[in-house]
Amino acid sequence: MTNKSILIVEDDFLNRRISKKVLAENGYEVFEAKNAKEALEILQKESLALIVLDINLGENEQDGISLGQHIKDKYSVPFIYLTAYENPEIIEKAVSTSPYSYLTKPFKSSDLIASAEIAIRQSSDIPKHKPFIYVKDGDYNVELATENINYIESDGNYLLFYTDEKIYKCRSSIKNILNELSNSNFVQTHRAYIVNKNKIKKFSNKNVMIKNNLIPVSENYLEILKQFL
């Protein structure tokens, strides 16, 4: 089944409502965010086919271009800009983040729908590379596909990566690896543990079970874990 979920990131309520109405009338499921923080929270929870980004997301807020760059670097979700900016410098900066389209306001409904359809179809034709991180296997650095990670444990200045086959190691911290993974499949359950939610067999308020291993869940992370499952 084709994914028809689109996220609109727009600080202006009226513009969000207009864009949502156009997309919803054409069969899309629409999520809304008024700033980068809300957008990233939705990105981590939902499977999206496309993101529609405004560039100006309000005073003292992360702008849409830097958010677009972050999406490009960390997520495999296509995005287009829908903005009032027609300044050549801003357009050049926006284009450098590799959007699938750049639309200016006021827009024609047909242009938004056409841009959305083209972006979704073109992105689906691009082979998806399996995300990986570099870890230590003995004296060698190797690529470890993140989908093979069951859970991660902090061990002093190192992290231990538990897979079905073996345990890998790298010098890093929980905070840094969460930023590197930037993947909705991983959630922190404890100050010293991150788990792959796809590997969880069952969970309680105190533990999750992965491959017959009990991973602790602390009260600070319980609500976040429940949102992911």
- Closest Cα to residue 114, out of 148, 80, 70? 80
Residue where a domain stops, chosen among 68, 99, 124: 124
The whole-number average pLDDT for the span 28-44 is: 92
Helix axes 88-95, 64-74, angle to 10 degrees: 10
In a shared domain, residues 120 and 136: no
pLDDT tops 80 at residue 148: yes
In a shared domain, residues 101 and 51: yes
In a shared domain, residues 186 and 219: yes
Dist. CA 224–CA 229, nearest whole Å = 9
What is the chain's mean pLDDT, rounded? Answer: 89
Q: What is the CATH number for 211? A: 2.40.50.1020
Dist. CA 119–CA 122, nearest whole Å = 5
The fraction of the chain above a pLDDT of 70, given in percent, is 94
The whole-number average pLDDT for the span 124-153 is: 82
In a shared domain, residues 136 and 105: no
In a shared domain, residues 113 and 152: no
pLDDT tops 70 at residue 183: no
Q: Is 177 exposed, middle or buried (0-12, 13-18, 19+ CB in 10 A)?
A: buried
pLDDT tops 70 at residue 68: yes
Residue where a domain stops, chosen among 106, 124, 142: 124
Dist. CA 178–CA 174, nearest whole Å = 6
Dist. CA 138–CA 142, nearest whole Å = 10
Beta bridge partners of 137: 140
Q: What is the CATH number for 60? A: 3.40.50.2300
In a shared domain, residues 118 and 152: no
> How would residue 130 be classed by pLDDT, with cut points 50, 70 and 90?
low
Return the pLDDT at 1: 42
Return the pLDDT at 229: 63
Return the pLDDT at 45: 81
Number of domains the chain contains? 2
Return the pLDDT at 126: 58
Taking the CA atoms of 54, 60, 66 and 71 in sequence, report the sign of the dihedral they define: negative
Which residue range is the domain that position 143 belongs to? Answer: 132-228
Which range, 99-113, 127-141, 165-179, is most confident? 99-113
In a shared domain, residues 36 and 147: no
Residue where a domain stops, chosen among 65, 99, 124: 124
Return the pLDDT at 2: 58
> How would residue 167 be classed by pLDDT, with cut points 50, 70 and 90?
very high
In a shared domain, residues 115 and 220: no
pLDDT tops 70 at residue 166: yes
pLDDT tops 70 at residue 36: yes
pLDDT tops 60 at residue 208: yes
By 3-state DSSP, what share of the chain in percent is helix, strand and coil, each rounded to 5? 35, 30, 35
In a shared domain, residues 214 and 139: yes
> How would residue 227 be classed by pLDDT, with cut points 50, 70 and 90?
low
pLDDT tops 60 at residue 28: yes
The whole-number average pLDDT for the span 171-181 is: 85
The answer to whether the pTM exceeds 0.75 is no
In a shared domain, residues 46 and 119: yes
